[in-house]
């Protein structure tokens, strides 16, 4: 996304900043103390200086730092990522919680992605944290993984607005019966499944 487009989108989301309109205490904390946290973490400087695979898909560093904070906050025991890209996102998340079991795959075909997920799900039974990152098979990955997401699991979906088809699909994710709480940060979407929560989609100005 070029600078002009990012500025335009920031203006469109201006009202959705700093927790405005978020009434749930837990959701407000996530927005103000995790998404908008500005304090530098111990690992950010060495991660910034690391060289990742050039020319591969990746997020802005701001998004990777958010993933670090999110994993640090949620403290998952298991994490799966589909669509490794340049490897920076998984590096940030692993650094946030070195003790967790974290695996990533850059599947070259949908069959390969499904086979890998089948094997991981059979081994783990359920997943605490799933990152659907730089992959064209996001629909298949979501559908395959959904039954294995626990009530307290978290799913992060990357590049929500990369094309019209994905934007349309993201709206379907929001309406999914299993999905209860979603945070739309433009670069990524954060999905929670707490069954006792009323459905809510928050637009967050994270641009």
Residue 129: closest CA among 184, 186, 68, 198: 68
Q: H/E element holding 79?
A: strand 78-82
pLDDT at 8: 61
User: What's the distance, CA 27 to chain centroid?
Assistant: 16
**Domain range annotation of the chain:** 3-49+57-203
What radius of gyration do the chain's Cα atoms show? 16
pLDDT at 206: 87
Burial of 197 (0-12, 13-18, 19+ CB in 10 A): middle
pLDDT at 57: 96
CATH fit for domain 3-49+57-203, picks 3.40.1710.10, 2.40.50.100, 3.90.226.10, 3.40.50.150: 3.40.50.150
Q: Which long-range contacts (CB under 8 A, 24 or more apart) does 197-201 make?
A: 199/174, 200/24, 200/27, 201/174
Residue 185's region, left for phi above 0, alpha for psi from -120 to 50, else beta, is alpha
Q: 50 CB contacts (<8 Å, ≥6 apart)?
A: 88, 91
pTM of the model: 0.91
Per-position pLDDT tens, the chain of length 207: 566 676 666 566 655 565 556 778 999 999 999 999 988 898 999 999 999 999 999 999 999 999 999 999 999 999 999 999 999 999 999 999 999 999 999 989 999 999 999 999 999 999 999 999 999 999 999 999 999 999 999 999 999 999 999 999 999 999 999 999 999 999 999 999 999 999 999 999 887
pLDDT at 207: 76
Residue 52: closest CA among 3, 99, 95, 115: 95
Give me 197's structure tokens. 């929560």
Q: What SS3 class is residue 51? A: coil
């Amino acid at each position: 996304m070029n600078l002009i487009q990012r500025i335009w989108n920031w203006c469109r989301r201006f009202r959705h900043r700093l927790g405005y309109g978020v009434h749930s205490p837990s959701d407000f904390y996530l927005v103000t103390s995790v998404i908008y946290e500005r304090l530098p973490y111990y690992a950010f400087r060495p991660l910034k200086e690391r060289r990742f695979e050039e020319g591969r898909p990746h997020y802005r560093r701001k998004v990777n730092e958010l993933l670090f904070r999110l994993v640090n906050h949620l403290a998952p025991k298991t994490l799966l990522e589909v669509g490794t890209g340049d490897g920076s996102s998984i590096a940030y998340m692993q650094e946030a919680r070195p003790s967790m079991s974290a695996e990533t795959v850059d599947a070259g075909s949908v069959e390969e992605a499904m086979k890998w997920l089948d094997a991981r799900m059979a081994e783990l039974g359920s997943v605490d944290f799933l990152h659907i990152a730089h992959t064209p098979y996001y629909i298949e990955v979501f559908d395959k993984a959904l039954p294995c997401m626990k009530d307290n699991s978290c799913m992060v979906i990357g590049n929500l607005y990369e094309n019209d088809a994905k934007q349309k699909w993201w709206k379907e994710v929001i309406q999914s019966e299993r999905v209860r709480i979603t945070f739309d940060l433009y670069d990524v979407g954060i999905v929670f499944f707490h069954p006792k929560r009323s459905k809510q989609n928050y637009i967050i100005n994270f641009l």
